[in-house]
Structure 1
Amino acid sequence: MKLANVQEPVQIGAMTLPNRIIMGSMHVGFERLPDGVARLAEFYAERARGGAGLIVTGGAAVLPEGGMGEVYCNVYLDEHIEQLRVITEKVHQANGKIALQLFHAGRYAYKEATGLDPVAPSPLQAPINRWKPRELDASEIELTIAAFAAGAVRAQKAGFDAVEIMGSEGYLINQFLSPVTNHRQDDWGGDFLRRARFGIEVAKRVREAVGPDFPVVFRMSGLDLIPDSTSMEETLQFARMLEDAGVNALNIGIGWHESKVPTISMMVPRGAYVWVARQVKQAVSIPVIASNRINDVRHAEEILREGHCDLVSMARPFLADPQIVAKSVEGRYDEVNTCIACNQACLDHIFDGKVASCLVNPQVGREAEWAIVPAGVRKKVAVVGAGPAGLEAARVLAERGHEVVLFEKQTRIGGQLNYARQVPGKAEFNETLRYYRTQLARLGVEIRLGTEAEADALVAEGFAEVVIATGVVPRVPEIPGRELGHVVMYNEVFEQKAKVGNKVAIVGAGGIACDLSHLLVHNEVISAQTAEYLLSYRIVDEQTIHRLQASKRKVFMLRRGKHVGSGLGKTTRWATLAQLKQRGVEMLTQIEYKRIAPEGVYISVNDEEQLVPADTVIIAAGATPNQSLYHALTNRLPVHLIGGAKEAGELDAKRAILEGAQVGRAI
C-alpha cells in the first residue's frame, strides 16, 4: 500500500512537517527518575529517528497548582528553560520536531503531588479526585492566562518547534468551557460565549506572546462524553473562534478522564472517533488532527485519503514501536509491533504513580541501557515455551546473535495469548502474535511446534543454556464434587475441548474468569453488519435485533474474596465489569464453597446455603507454575526461569514479556 497522503508534507503555521503522523502527548513520568530528563530526551529522540512528523510532549505545567508535582515537566519558571532544552537538543540531533504541551489540570490536579489546593472555574469536586478545588477569582484567572503565555515564551526559548495548548480531556480550559463544571455567572461563565472566553483568551495571549510565525496547536475536546456538557454545535463554534484567535491547528481530543465511556481501550473499535474530527474540519480552514485508537499507518492513510482530517495523532503506538512510521513507509508492516490498547503498562502505571512502559515493548523508558548489543559469545540457547515470555526471550536472544531453538508442545505459538485473542474486544492480541511470527522468521529462530522438550534431549543436543518459559498449570481447588463430568477447566473451554451449556457457574472471578464470561455470553448469531442491513430495510425492528443478539447463556462468577476482576488494570476494569453486568453476568462474592453437584454449585452466603444452578461448572481459580523441566535440568545446564513458570498468579503478559526481554539481554 502506497502511503501517498501520509508522506505528503504539511504546514502548521511557519513549520513544515515531513509527514502527517504526529506522536501525541503522553505523561510517561520518566522525570521522576534520577536521570529523568535525559531519559525523557532519549525517549523522544528515538521516536524522532523512527519518523514521527511532530512529537508533542507530555503536559508541562504553566503553574505549580495545575501540574503533577515538582519532579514532572514544568514551564512556570525561567529556570525550567535549560532543563527543557536537553529534550529539544536531543530531538533536533535526531532530525525531529517537537512541541511542548502547555498544561493546567484544574480540578484534576492532585494535592498529594503539588502540595497545593486544586483550582477550577467553580468549586465542584471531580469524581476522580478526593480534593475539592477552590474557585478561581477574576484576578487569578488573569494570572493563569498570563502563565500560559509566559510558558509558551519559555518553550520558544528552550528550542521547541511549536506549542500545544491542552484544552481537552477535562482539564482546566475544558472545565471553563463545559456547563457541567463552570457554574459561574460573571464574565467567565454563564452563557456559551462567557464559558468559551477563558480558552479563547489563552489562545490569543499565547499567539501575541510568541509572535505571528511560531506554530500554536490547540488540543480541544471534540466530544466530552459527559452528560449535559458542551454540545456539538458549541464545539464547532469554539473551533471557529480558536481559528480567529490565531491558532494554527486543532488537535481533537475525545472524552474526559471521569467519563463512563471507554475511548482508548482495546474494546473501542479502531478509529471510532474520526467522525468527530471530520465535523471540526468541515467547520474551519486550518489543519485538523484526528486521534484515538488509530494504531496502523495504513489506517491513517485511509483516514487522510477520505478527507476526514489533515493529520493523524498516534500516542501509544509510538510506545509499542518507535519505528512505526519508518517501517510503514518502507512497506514493512508485518514488522511493526502494534499497540494493542491494553493500557496495562502505560496508563495503568501512570495512574498508580509508576513510570510508564509498554506491555509489548518493555524497552520504553530504557532506550539507552536496553539498546540491543551483540552477544560477546555466541551460544546455542533453547527457549522452552512459546508464550509471551518465551517469544520475547527468543526474539531478543536471536537479535543479539545467539542460535535459538524455540520448543512449544502445542501446535502453534502464543501460549495463553491464544486464549486472550478469542475474547470479544481483544482481537488486537492477534497483532502481537503476527509481530512475533514475523520477527522470529526474520531472525532465523528454529521453532519446533508439537514438541515437548525433555531434559535428557536438551543436554544431549548440546545447548549451552536453557530458558524455561513453560507457563502455568491450572489450579484445582479442594471442592467436593470437582471430579464430576460437567466440571471442566478454563483452559479446556478456551481450547474448545469442553462443551459448555446454557447455565454456567465459574469458580473464580479474576481476570481469567472475566475473559471467560465475555467469551461465553458473546452471541455471534447476528453480526453488527447484518443488523444494520436488517434495520435499514426494515426487515426487523430494533427490539428484534436486541433479542437476536442477546445471549441465551446465564453465567455466574463466584469468589471467596470481595473483589471481582482483580488483576485487571485500573483504567479498564470498570468498563469490563460494566459490560459483563450489562450482559447479565452475575457476580457473587464473599461466598464459601460447599460442594459441586449435578444440578450446580452449593455455596454459603452469610451462613445460608444456596444453589447456583449450572449444567457446566468451569474452574478458573488461578494456576501454579509449571516447573517440572526446570527441576529436571537444575545442576545439569544453566537454566533461567521466566513468566508464569517463575510466578503464577493472574495471567500477566506484561511481566512475562518484560522477563523475556531481560533474560534475552542477560545471556
Structure 2
Amino acid sequence: MKLRNRLVRSATWERMADERGHLTPRLEQTLLRIAEGGVALIFPGYAFVTAQEQPNPGMMGIHDDACVPGLRGMTDEVHERGAVIGLQMVYGGSLTNYRPEGRLIWGPSAVTHPLTGVTPQAMSHEDIAALVEAFALAAGRAQRAGFDCVQLHSSHGYLLSQFLSPVFNRREDDYGGSVQNRCRIHLEILAGIRQELGENYPVLIKINCEDFIPGGLTATDSLEACRLLDQAGISGIEISGGMRTKDPETFFIKPHILKPEQQCYYCPYAAEVAQKVSAPVILVGGNRDALMLQNILDDTAISYFSLSRTIISEPDLVNKWREDPTHKPRCLACNKCFDPEGHICILDRKQS
C-alpha cells in the first residue's frame, strides 16, 4: 500500500449513511472531496460488522454482501483521485443509545455503561467465535469493495476497547485478567482476517493509549497490547485515547486546542509505542500545525498523522499545506461540527 504523503483522514462517523448502513450520494461526495484535498489515506466513519448491531444512526455497514457494490464504485473514484482508502470496522457494544430495546448487545462482561446506561449480555465463548468470524467476513467484503486495508476500532469505549479495559472486562476466563487475555479477541480477529484474506492484506488497529478513567486501561498495559499485536503482524497502529463518559475530561476529542501546547495531545504515548514496535504508528488527536507535525516526524519514530475536524472544515487542507506549510486551519476546535444532521463545519452551516 503506497501513500502519497504521511497524512491520514481518521475515521469519523459522518451520520450520512442510510438506515440500512448503505452508502449515500452525500457520503460519497464527502469522501471524494477529501480524496481531492490531498490526504494519502482515508478512513470513512466506522462500519458495523453484524446486522443486528448498529450502534449509531447514519453509520455505514459492512455486515452483508449488499453493501459491496455501492462501496466499490466509491473506492474506485477515490483511487482515481490519487488517495487510498481503508475501512474501519467496529462492534459498538454498550456504547449505544440508538434503538437498544429488543436487540442483542454484547459485552465482555455485564457491566452497565456509565454514559448510556446500557447493560450488555456477557459474551460466551461461542459468541466470541461468532464475532471473530463476523469481523473476518466483513474484512473480506471490504476487500471486494475495493478498500486497500481495514482497521479494527479498539478505542473510545466500543466493544474491542472494552475487552482491554478492566472497568468493563471482569472475566475470569481466557479473555480476562492479564493483558494477554484481554487482547486475545483482537489477536483472534487478526488471525481470522489473515485466514480469510492472506498475509498481505493490511490490517491496522486504532487503540487507546489510556482510558483516562479510574481503573481503566493504563499506558503500560496499552503498550503491552501494542507489542502483542505487533508480534502477531498488525500492519499499523493508530494511537488515540479516552472514553465516552459523563465526564467531559475523558472525552477523546479535545475542544479549544488552538494553542500549540494543547495540540498533538497523544504524542508522548504514540512516541513511546513507536519506539517499541516495528509496525508504523499513526498519531491522532489535535494535529493542526504542519510545521509541528514535521518536527514530530523528525524527532520521534511516529510515521503518520491522522486528522479529522480540520478536514471536516477544510477538505483541501493538505493541498493548502503543500503550498504553504504555515497555513493555519480555519477549524475552531469547537466540536460543533458533530451535528445530528451530518457532520458539517459550523462555519459552513452559518454560510448556508
Q: Deviations 1:274-331 (Å, cap 9, x if unpaired)?
A: 1110011011011000110111222221211112511011111111111111111111
Does the 8 A contact of 2:23 with 2:71 survive in 1? Answer: no
Q: Secondary structure of 1:209's partner?
A: helix
Question: In 2, Cα distance between the equivalents of 1:108 and 1:125?
Answer: 10
Q: Which residue of 1 aligns with 2:270?
A: 277
Asked whether 1:181 is paired with 2:168, we answer yes
Q: Deviations 1:323-364 (Å, cap 9, x if unpaired)?
A: 111111111744x54322101122xx2xxx4321111334xx
Worse overlay, 94-103 or 296-305: 296-305
Q: Which residue of 2 aligns with 1:17?
A: 3
Does the 8 A contact of 2:11 with 2:44 survive in 1? Answer: yes
Pick aligned residue for 2:15 from 17, 23, 29:
29
Asked whether 1:59 is paired with 2:46, we answer yes
Q: Which residue of 1 aligns with 2:70?
A: 83
Question: In 2, Cα distance between the equivalents of 1:32 and 1:63?
Answer: 16
Q: Secondary structure of 1:58's partner?
A: coil
Asked whether 1:97 is paired with 2:84, we answer yes
Instruction: Report the count of equivalent residues.
Output: 345
Asked whether 1:210 is paired with 2:197, we answer yes
In the alignment, structure 1 segments of 5+ residues that lack a partner are: 1-14, 363-657, 663-667
Q: Which residue of 1 aligns with 2:147?
A: 160
Pick aligned residue for 2:308 from 304, 310, 315:
315
Offset of residue 203 of structure 1 = 1.8
Change in 2 beyond 3 A, CA 1:114/1:23 = farther
Change in 2 beyond 3 A, CA 1:193/1:142 = same
Q: Deviations 1:390-423 (Å, cap 9, x if unpaired)?
A: xxxxxxxxxxxxxxxxxxxxxxxxxxxxxxxxxx
Question: In 2, Cα distance between the equivalents of 1:191 and 1:288?
Answer: 24
Pick aligned residue for 1:340 from 332, 337, 345:
332
Offset of residue 68 of structure 1 = 3.0
1:265 maps to a residue whose letter is K
Q: Secondary structure of 1:193's partner?
A: helix
1:23 maps to a residue whose letter is R
Offset of residue 223 of structure 1 = 1.5
Does the 8 A contact of 1:270 with 1:295 survive in 2? Answer: yes
Question: In 2, Cα distance between the equivalents of 1:42 and 1:58?
Answer: 14
Q: Which residue of 2 aligns with 1:384?
A: none
Worse overlay, 35-44 or 129-138: 35-44
Q: Which residue of 2 aligns with 1:417?
A: none
Question: What is the aligned-residue RMSD (CA, Å)?
Answer: 2.1
Q: Secondary structure of 2:250's partner?
A: coil
Pick aligned residue for 1:290 from 258, 283, 291:
283
Q: Which residue of 2 aligns with 1:611?
A: none
Q: Which residue of 1 aligns with 2:25?
A: 38
Q: Which residue of 1 aligns with 2:299?
A: 306
Change in 2 beyond 3 A, CA 1:155/1:63 = same
Question: In 2, Cα distance between the equivalents of 1:321 and 1:211?
Answer: 37
Q: Which residue of 2 aligns with 1:250?
A: 237
Offset of residue 125 of structure 1 = 1.0
Pick aligned residue for 2:124 from 119, 130, 137:
137
Question: In 2, Cα distance between the equivalents of 1:23 and 1:70?
Answer: 21
Q: Which residue of 2 aligns with 1:545?
A: none
Change in 2 beyond 3 A, CA 1:191/1:133 = same
**TM-score scaled by length of structure 2:** 0.92
Q: Secondary structure of 2:24's partner?
A: helix
Change in 2 beyond 3 A, CA 1:53/1:113 = farther
Question: In 2, Cα distance between the equivalents of 1:305 and 1:69?
Answer: 39
Change in 2 beyond 3 A, CA 1:115/1:44 = farther
Q: Which residue of 2 aligns with 1:473?
A: none
Pick aligned residue for 1:264 from 250, 253, 276:
253
Q: Which has the larger radius of gyration?
A: 1
Offset of residue 109 of structure 1 = 2.8
Q: Deviations 1:625-655 (Å, cap 9, x if unpaired)?
A: xxxxxxxxxxxxxxxxxxxxxxxxxxxxxxx
Q: Secondary structure of 2:183's partner?
A: helix
Change in 2 beyond 3 A, CA 1:33/1:359 = farther
2:333 maps to a residue whose letter is A
Change in 2 beyond 3 A, CA 1:221/1:319 = same
Change in 2 beyond 3 A, CA 1:345/1:69 = closer
- Any residues of structure 2 matched to 1:479-494 within 5 Å, and which? none
In the alignment, structure 2 segments of 5+ residues that lack a partner are: none
Does the 8 A contact of 1:41 with 1:88 survive in 2? Answer: no
